[in-house]
Amino acid sequence: MRNAARIGIAASAGVLAAALTAAPALAAGSPRAAEDGRLVTTTSGPVLGTVGSDVREFSGIPYAAPPVGALRWTPPRPVTPWSQARDATKPGPVCAQGPYNRPVGSTVSEDCLTLNVTTPRDASAARRKPVMVFVHGGDLTTGSGSQFEPRRMAAQGDVVVVTINYRLGIFGFFGHAGLPGSGTFGLQDQQAALRWIRHNAAAFGGDARNVTLVGQSAGAVSTCGQLTSPAAKGLFDRAVIQSASCGSYTPTLYPGQPAPATTATTKWKPLTEIDAQGGALAKTLGCEDQADAIACLRGLGTDRLLAHTDEFGSAAYGTPTLPRNPEAAIRAGRFTRVPVVIGHTRDEGRMVTAALVNPAIGGTPMTEQRYVELTDQAYGAQAAEVRRHYPPSAYTEAGAQWAPALAWAAIETDRTTACPVLRDADAIARRTPVHAYEFADPNAPTWTAVPAGFPAGASHISDLTYLFDVNRPDGTPVTLSAAQRSLAATMIGYWTAFAHGGTPVADGAPSWPAYAAGGHVRTLAPARIGSVDDATEHQCAFWKTVR
């Protein structure tokens, strides 16, 4: 698994000729594609990418066979090798998903198991770099790796960065009685990508024995799963968990949902529950014959299944991929002992709350009466106590009209992310080195549009704009101020130093001590990089009393 392919600098004239034939437009400017670094030979076949001033990029490389037709809902199979150079100058299609969070103008397909490699221009087999593998978020139902452009990270941090696609929603986490791999196909895809990277890191100048798995939101949930999956052991050497916990999500309100659920939701479900869910859907879709249900479902069109994709946004445990609920496994110490960075943004809940009150997308103002109704629905007999801890009068910095919405967002931030993340940090730090943080730029760019005057703060996903160059799903680019670019350079320094040696350090920035149980974490903001009592700031002692 650790035997990596050699870089294709010394490709034969025959392979080079094939490359020129396969991609004449790329080769026209330079007939020496192998020598200038555009041609790399992988275990799957040669790929022809692009060379910039600081980095080389190779996009849309298949790491597994297309999971279509008879391979829909099967564990990922090895890709069929190719002999002629494959055009690797643009990303592959995004995995099948609905319109929310999907990049504007993107091609959508079930044939989507590809990855993108960005490597420093001077990376070679003789000077191997750490590898950082980024798993995107999107609730396990949306998103794509190509939304996040890692040139700055690769060049400044002297690392190889890989972004991946994996099956989503009904295609990645569907289950049915007797279906091998039920409820875990997306996680298995991530493991297949990591295996491909282990075999091919050296071809791009990467060190196959130094791989850091980085996940944000649902990608962070996935990273927690991989920490506890026996099949993932040995596939990565460090982990970064951003903006999601390894455990339960609690009452949360999303656009289009009339009220928050009164019971906790989770990204982990028992296999029996997911199989039952799939069996019920099979009947709804006219595939009632138990003996032929999977064949019938595989015969349905992508769009017919996509109508139900949001119903399958949790991974199954009690499976070979996840023998135990990862939340319980983390608490019990049954996870791969690798160094971990874990953290969240200060105002996680403001992203979704902004959508709820944004009239441009059908939102309505949140009045104090609505705030009372929502907290009653979510917390029942404890709702009044929740409101005493989160009175709208404490959130009037942008005017009284936003106070109830900001109070709700603070509840969402603290209950669903900040305190669960600290709980994970406590559990993991008992057994392996941990560095914990809170991203706290109050003026961070937002991922989605917010109503005029609404203070988005350091909302969910905003930290990724400091690590990557991104376009929002609507195609608009995210820009940073000079102070924010300075913070971005520091954060990239911390993240990539962790990939190099297991300790986040950055030139000219304060040291980042290891986390010790109690809640003090590194705070990251343009005006201040220091320490914050995260547990007190987010009222975690109170949330331990709420059921």
What tokens does 288 get?
């009632």
What tokens does 443 get?
């003026």
What tokens does 159 get?
């690392």
Q: What is the pTM of this model?
A: 0.92
Please tell me the distance from the alpha carbon of residue 248 to that of residue 270, in angstroms, as a whole number: 13
What tokens does 18 get?
């094939």
Which parts of the chain have pLDDT scores under 70? 1-35, 125, 248-265
Residues catalogued as catalytic: 217
Radius of gyration of the chain from Cα atoms?
23
What tokens does 109 get?
């397909």
Q: Are 228 and 31 in contact (CB under 8 A)?
A: no
Q: Are 194 and 229 in contact (CB under 8 A)?
A: no
Residue 163 identity: T
Q: Which of 242, 237, 244 is nearest to 433 (CA)?
A: 237
**CB neighbours of 349 closer than 8 A, spacing ≥ 6?**
408, 409, 410, 411, 412, 413, 416, 417, 459, 460
Helix (H) or strand (E) holding 411: helix 403-413
Q: For residue 106, what pLDDT is reported?
A: 87
Distance between alpha carbon 532 and the CA centroid of its chain, in Å? Answer: 25
Residue 335 identity: F
Helix (H) or strand (E) holding 540: helix 540-543
Please tell me the distance from the alpha carbon of residue 463 to that of residue 445, in angstroms, as a whole number: 9
For the four alpha carbons of 246, 247, 250 and 252, in that order, the dihedral sign comes to positive
Give the count of beta carbons closer than 10 Å to the beta carbon of residue 516. Answer: 12
Q: Are 304 and 285 in contact (CB under 8 A)?
A: yes
Give the count of beta carbons closer than 10 Å to the beta carbon of residue 151. Answer: 16
Residues forming beta bridges with residue 529, ordered by sequence position: 524
394-444: pLDDT as tens digits: 999 999 999 999 999 999 999 999 999 999 999 999 999 999 999 999 999
- C-alpha pair distances (Å), 83 with each of 40, 366, 439: 12, 59, 46
Taking phi over 0 as left and psi of -120 to 50 as alpha, with beta for the rest, 286 belongs to left
Please tell me the distance from the alpha carbon of residue 528 to that of residue 443, in angstroms, as a whole number: 13
DSSP string, 341-406: EEEEETTTTHHHHHHHT-GGGT-----HHHHHHHHHHHHGGGHHHHHHHS-GGG--TT-GGGHHHH
Query: If you search the block for the tokens 């990418």, which residue do you land on?
Result: 49
- C-alpha pair distances (Å), 41 with each of 113, 165, 501: 19, 21, 28
Q: Are 444 and 456 in contact (CB under 8 A)?
A: yes
Per-domain residue ranges for the chain?
50-78+86-247+266-317, 342-363+407-543
For the four alpha carbons of 140, 144, 148 and 153, in that order, the dihedral sign comes to positive
Which CATH superfamily hosts domain 50-78+86-247+266-317?
Answer: Alpha/Beta hydrolase fold, catalytic domain (3.40.50.1820)
Q: For residue 477, what pLDDT is reported?
A: 87
